[in-house]
C-alpha cells in the first residue's frame, strides 16, 4: 500500500514514519510513504501557499492551486484508484473498522492542512473524504496523517508478528486492553496479581477477559453498549461488578 502525504512540513512526516512498526513496514516494502510539498507547486517569487480569508477575520487559508497540483502529482505517481482524504476536526471520526476498510485501497493520499485550513473548494472538488482523529484542535494535519498511516499499516498482512496479529481479530475486539505486569514481582509493596504467577493459562485468559470487560465498563461504557457479549463474558463482567462493591 502506498501513502502520499501533502504537507508543508514533509520532513516531519518522513522522520516520524521511519520509526518502529511503520519504519519496518517501509524497509520491508509493505508500504511506502511519499511526501508532496504544496510550496513546490507555487509559481510566484515568494512561493505563496496561503492567502487572506474572504469575509475577513484572523489567520490565513491555504490556496487551492498548489494543493490541487500536489495532489495531482501524487495521483500520477500512484494508481488510478487513489483515495484522497483531508484531515480536520470537521471530518468523520476515524474508527478501527473504517481503518480496516481502507486497507483495501492501494493508494491513500492524506492532505495535512496548516494555518486556519484549506480553501473549501479543495475539499469539495479534490477530496473523497474528510477524517478526524479526535475532537481536539492541533496545529496542523501532519500528526493526524501519521496516526492514520500507523493505524492502517498495523492492519496490513505481514506487518506485525504472529502474536500481535492474533490479538487484532480476537474476542478482545472493541474492548479496552487488560492490565500488564513485568518484573519485579514487588514494587514498594505493590504486587502482581497471583493468577498471573499461577501458570494456569485458562485462569489467566479468564482473568484478562474479566479485566478487559471491567475496564471497558468503567471507562468506556459507550464501547460496551455497542458490543454483543457472550454468556461467558456476561458472567465475567457480573463478577467484576460484584468485586468493585
| Catalytic site positions | 89, 116, 154, 169
Does the footprint of ligand 9WO cover residue 16 (CB under 6 A)?
Answer: no
User: What are the grid coordinates assigned to 120, written together?
Assistant: 473549501
Does the footprint of ligand 9WO cover residue 236 (CB under 6 A)?
Answer: no
* Residue number, 20 or 134, with CB nearest to ligand 9WO: 134
Given 87, 99, 102, 108, the residue binding ligand 9WO (CB under 6 A): 87
Does the footprint of ligand 9WO cover residue 116 (CB under 6 A)?
Answer: yes
Does the footprint of ligand 9WO cover residue 141 (CB under 6 A)?
Answer: yes
Question: Shortest approach of ligand 9WO to residue 1 CB, angstroms?
Answer: 20
SS3 assignment, position 89: strand
Stretch that binds ligand 9WO, among 40-48, 140-148, 215-223, 231-239 (CB under 6 A): 140-148
- Helices 10-17 and 142-153 cross at an angle (nearest 10°) of 30
Question: Shortest approach of ligand 9WO to residue 88 CB, angstroms?
Answer: 5
By C-alpha distance, which of 50, 13, 53 is closest to 33? Answer: 13
Given 60, 89, 98, 150, the residue binding ligand 9WO (CB under 6 A): 89
131-144 core/surface letters (b: 16 or more CB in 10 A; e: else): bebeeeeeebbbeb
Does the footprint of ligand 9WO cover residue 237 (CB under 6 A)?
Answer: no
**Of all residues in this chain, which one has the CB nearest to ligand 9WO in the complex?**
113
CB–CB of 238/210 below 8 Å?
no
SS3 assignment, position 227: coil
Does the footprint of ligand 9WO cover residue 38 (CB under 6 A)?
Answer: no
- Helices 142-153 and 20-27 cross at an angle (nearest 10°) of 70
Amino acid at each position: 500500500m502506498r501513502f502520499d502525504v501533502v504537507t508543508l512540513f514533509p520532513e516531519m512526516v518522513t522522520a516520524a514514519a521511519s520509526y518502529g512498526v511503520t519504519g519496518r513496514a517501509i524497509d520491508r516494502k509493505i508500504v511506502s510513504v511519499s511526501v508532496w510539498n504544496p510550496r513546490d507547486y507555487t509559481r510566484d517569487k515568494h512561493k505563496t501557499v496561503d492567502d487572506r480569508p474572504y469575509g475577513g477575520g484572523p489567520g490565513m487559508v491555504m490556496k487551492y492551486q498548489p494543493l490541487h497540483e500536489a495532489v495531482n502529482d501524487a495521483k500520477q505517481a500512484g494508481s488510478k484508484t487513489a483515495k484522497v482524504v483531508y484531515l480536520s476536526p470537521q471530518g468523520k471520526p476515524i474508527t478501527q473498522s473504517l481503518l480496516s476498510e481502507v486497507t483495501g485501497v492501494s493508494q491513500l493520499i492524506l492532505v495535512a492542512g496548516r494555518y486556519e485550513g484549506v480553501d473549501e473548494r479543495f475539499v469539495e472538488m479534490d477530496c473523497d473524504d474528510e477524517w478526524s482523529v479526535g475532537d481536539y484542535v492541533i496545529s496542523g494535519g501532519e500528526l493526524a496523517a501519521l496516526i492514520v498511516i500507523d493505524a492502517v499499516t498495523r492492519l496490513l498482512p505481514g506487518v506485525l508478528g504472529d502474536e500481535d496479529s492474533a490479538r487484532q481479530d480476537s474476542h478482545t475486539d472493541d474492548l479496552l486492553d487488560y492490565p500488564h505486569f513485568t518484573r519485579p514481582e514487588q514494587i514498594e509493596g505493590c504486587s502482581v496479581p497471583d493468577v498471573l504467577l499461577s501458570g494456569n493459562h485458562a485462569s489467566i485468559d479468564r482473568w484478562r477477559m474479566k479485566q478487559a470487560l471491567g475496564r471497558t465498563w468503567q471507562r468506556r461504557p459507550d464501547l460496551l453498549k455497542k458490543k454483543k457479549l457472550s454468556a461467558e463474558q456476561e458472567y465475567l463482567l457480573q463478577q467484576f461488578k460484584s468485586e468493585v462493591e
